């Protein structure tokens, strides 16, 4: 597996530092207003804590989400959805498709502050599909977070709340991202050698 790596774009130390900083930012945004409410007088009911619902987009965000949530000291529910746009050996998007069940999402998210989490933002089609599914459930707010964003016009102009890293417009694997189902367990974010991706190398 290590021999298939072309180069390391982001190493595990930089990932860990950035995940912690993102979690601090998210905690501040989601809890900041509740935390700054005045203490209730004994006759008043205590202020309601925000109802936080996390929607991880599987499978790619699996490792990012599991790291991120351990730095979020917030009461939350987690409702994953499975979306696939790069089936099998594809290295370009075939369009996002819901795979499996969206019955994991509650019928109503009324009053919930939702945070959608994906591994990487490319065209924005995946986030847009999931955001639409959520808006139908009438949440109080929907925020979006990705670990990586590709430096291409469609991705850079897509409205997003939290981004871990901007990366070059290349196909990457590791830290949850796969090629043909493999390489998700690489701790760093890397590119693969062209011959592994079935691309012709220059002669
Ligand atoms: P979008 O819908 O924004 O075009 O693409 C987002 C989805 O495509 C991601 O959730 C991810 O599954 C997949 N994707 C986009 N770029 C890459 C990449 O460079 N590597 C891998 N492994 N998946 C990618
Ligand atoms: Mg994905």
The per-residue pLDDT for range 11-46, each reduced to its tens digit, is 999 999 999 999 999 999 988 754 444 455 555 554
Which residue's CA is minimally distant from atom 23 of ligand 1? 177
Helix count (H) and strand count (E) of the chain?
Answer: 4, 10
Q: What is the pTM of this model?
A: 0.88
Mutational test site, ligand 1, from 119, 123, 196, max ligand atoms within 8 Å of CB:
119
Predicted confidence at residue 47, as pLDDT, reads 47
- pLDDT-derived band at 70 (thresholds 50, 70, 90) equals very high
94 lines ligand 1 (CB under 6 A): no
pLDDT(152) > 70: yes
Ligand 1 close to Cβ of residue 178 (< 6 A): yes
Instruction: Find tokens 């180069």 and name the residue.
Output: 7
In what helix (H) or strand (E) does residue 144 lie, and over which residues does it extend? Answer: strand 141-150
Q: Which residues are catalytic?
A: 122
Summarised one tens digit per residue, pLDDT across range 120-142 is 999 999 999 999 999 999 999 99
**Ligand 1, atom 15, residue with closest C-alpha:** 122
């Amino acid at each position: 597996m290590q021999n298939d790596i072309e180069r390391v774009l982001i190493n595990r130390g930089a990932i860990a530092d950035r995940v912690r900083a993102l979690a601090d930012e998210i905690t501040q945004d989601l809890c900041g207003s509740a935390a700054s409410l005045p203490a209730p007088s004994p006759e008043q009911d205590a202020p309601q804590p925000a109802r936080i619902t996390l929607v991880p987009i599987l499978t790619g965000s699996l490792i990012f989400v599991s790291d991120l949530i351990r730095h979020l000291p917030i009461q939350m529910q987690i409702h994953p959805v499975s979306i696939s746009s790069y089936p099998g050996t594809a290295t370009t998007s075939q369009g996002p498709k819901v795979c499996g069940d969206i019955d994991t999402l509650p019928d109503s998210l009324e009053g919930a502050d939702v945070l959608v989490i994906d591994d990487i933002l490319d065209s924005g089609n995946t986030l847009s599909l999931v955001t639409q599914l959520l808006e139908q459930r009438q949440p109080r707010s929907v925020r979006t977070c990705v670990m990586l964003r590709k430096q291409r016009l469609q991705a850079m102009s897509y409205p997003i709340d939290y981004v871990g890293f901007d990366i070059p417009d290349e196909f990457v694997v590791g830290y949850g991202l796969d090629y043909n189902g493999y390489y998700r367990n690489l701790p760093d974010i890397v590119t693969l050698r062209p011959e592994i991706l079935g691309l012709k190398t220059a002669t």
